[in-house]
Amino acid sequence: MKMNRTVRDFQNALESLLKTHQFGHLTIDQICNEALLHRSSFYRYFHDKYDLLEQTISTRLNILIDQSDRNEDEFVEILIKYVSDNRDIFRNLADSSSQSSLYGEIMKIVSEILLRQRHVTENQDTIVTALRNSKNPEMLAYILSGSILGAFYWWRQNNYEVPQQDVIDFVKQSMHNLSDQMERDGLN
């Protein structure tokens, strides 16, 4: 995946700042200072910090998808390991209650990423197939993104004390159960 160096520098700056700062308190100036780039450069590529967050999450997920050879079960393992390895970032993204506007914004971002994946023709995984066959893919994407975020928030609230493999196994089983249930109910 080819990316503009300036965009990459802003994304790296955001990830670096999220290790020690809550997203809700970050300013564009802090991000620009961390990236060693001017504010006008920021606005050339992003509308606001939420746009930067969306592009950063999308880029990171695409990298993780590429590492998994587009295998859904392997992707779940890689994603959960990434969350575990970057707990500070996720603590600072999930710094407040699920009622916050950030939670809704992240849910929207994940939903849009899921919807884009259904157009990847070689991908035949459970979630992508369910989205492709759904009568209402947008609603399904929101339900799935809420489930994914809910699992991460729950894991964080439990101080990541639940073993990583237990979370991986639960998420994989939940995805397969959802797909099977949708087929039985004729919702695909």
Contact 142, 43 (CB under 8 A): no
Whether residue 40 is found in the same domain as residue 117 = no
Q: Answer yes or no: is 58 within a domain.
A: no
Same domain, 36 and 81: no
186: confidence class by pLDDT, cuts 50, 70, 90: low
One domain, residues 121 and 171:
yes
pLDDT tens per residue, range 39-94: 999 999 999 998 999 899 888 888 887 787 666 778 788 888 988 899 899 888 86
At 97 the pLDDT is 44
User: Residue length, the chain?
Assistant: 188
Locate 77 and state its tokens.
């393992």
41 Rama class: left (phi>0) / alpha (psi -120 to 50) / beta: alpha
93 in the same domain as 47: no
* Whether 73 and 39 share a structural domain: no
19 in a domain, yes or no?
yes
Query: Could you give the number of structural domains in the chain?
Result: 2
Residue 59 falls inside a structural domain? no
Is position 91 within any domain?
A: yes
Quote the domain boundaries for residue 10. Answer: 1-52
pLDDT at 9: 97
C-alpha distances out from residue 12 to 36, 52, 63, Å? 11, 11, 14
Tens of pLDDT along 110-167? 888 788 877 876 666 777 778 888 888 898 888 888 888 888 888 888 888 999 999 8
What's the CATH number where 18 sits? 1.10.10
Which of 33-37, 93-97, 163-167, 171-175 is predicted with the least confidence, judged by mean pLDDT? 93-97
Give the closest residue to 143 by CA, choosing from 178, 99, 91, 105.
178
Residues 112 and 37 in one domain: no
Q: Has residue 75 been placed in a domain?
A: yes
- Give how far the C-alpha of residue 51 lies from the chain's centroid of Cα atoms, to the nearest Å: 13
- Residue at 110 is within a domain: yes
Residue written as tokens 């998808």?
Answer: 65
Residue 157 has a pLDDT of 85
13 occurs within a structural domain? yes
Alpha-carbon distance of 140 to 145, in angstroms, equals 8
